[in-house]
Amino acid sequence: MSPEQELLEKWRSLPENKREEVLDFVDYLHLKNSAKKPPLGARLRKIREKIVASGKHLLNEDEIEKELASRRGGLQSRGE
């Protein structure tokens, strides 16, 4: 069995959400190896579109601040 056939067979055996992860990873590898990457803004818009399409909640500014603070070990007020 060729590597392409093996990959396709394994991909077909995955649940739909895992297939999407595989495609995202392949997109990442393709972008990483391409000579010219799309601008960061375009890549971020694509990520946002995928999140919105998945139905996940987008964080607002306050939620982002809280998330960052929790990852940094505690809450900090703005400007610190």
pLDDT (mean) for 50-76:
86
pLDDT (mean) for 33-47:
83
Q: Over 90: is that where the pLDDT of 29 sits?
A: no
Domain boundaries, the chain: 1-37, 39-80
Separation CA 67–CA 74 (nearest Å): 10
Separation CA 46–CA 42 (nearest Å): 6
pLDDT of residue 34: 75
Alpha-carbon torsion 29, 33, 39, 40, what sign?
A: positive
Residue 75: pLDDT band by 50, 70, 90 thresholds? low
Question: Is residue 20 within 8 Å of 26, Cβ to Cβ?
Answer: no
Sorted by sequence, the CB contacts under 8 Å of residue 10 that are 6+ apart come out as none
